[in-house]
Amino acid sequence: MKKELLYVVTIITGVVLLTGVFFGFDNLTGDTTVDINIHDTYFVIPTKYLLFIFMLILIVFACFVRILFTRFKIKYANYIFLFFNALLIVCFILVCISINNFNDILRGNMGETTTREMATSMNKVLANFLYSGYFAIVLTVFIEIVVAFKTRKLHKNAS
């Protein structure tokens, strides 16, 4: 158990440092934002939410590689992966809901002031984002189910 906790702390520390090096440590703590300008409307997204999802993806990937190399034999590593993967599923669902709401807002704002081609292209872009989000949800849920069954099988064999 102590070895797995040390491994998780090492992964989280490495991911935070890697994110800080790539995106700057100010973005982790400050009030920086990402501005999306679409047709006279600015959508402001705090950077810390985007970086949290990025860090969560890296943590899930590192834990998944760990349980693949150990062939699902370490029960606590499997539980840690299941926890972080469940968090990632919740984040993907929230992102898809946000994109869907964003699409509804755009349809309301793009009434008569835009051309039909511009509105159609924006709908296609947002639809592609939604399809990617849905695919990510299905993939992570499938992986979650597989790891849960492998963990249950390991637990039954140990009893």
User: How do the pLDDT tens digits run along the chain, 159 residues long?
Assistant: 788 889 999 999 999 999 889 888 887 777 888 887 766 667 788 888 888 999 999 999 999 999 999 999 888 999 999 999 999 999 999 989 988 887 777 666 665 556 666 667 777 878 888 899 999 999 999 999 999 999 998 878 876
Domain ranges (residues) in the chain: 2-158
pLDDT for position 128:
87
pLDDT for position 140:
96
CA distances from 26 to 13, 36, 45, 152 (A): 16, 20, 16, 42
E-assigned strand segments in 39-81: 41-46
pTM score? 0.84
3-state secondary structure 90-140: HHHHHHHHHHHHHHHHHHHHCCCCCCHHHHHHHHHHHHHHHHHHHHHHHHH
pLDDT for position 78:
93
Classified as helix, coil or strand, 46 is strand
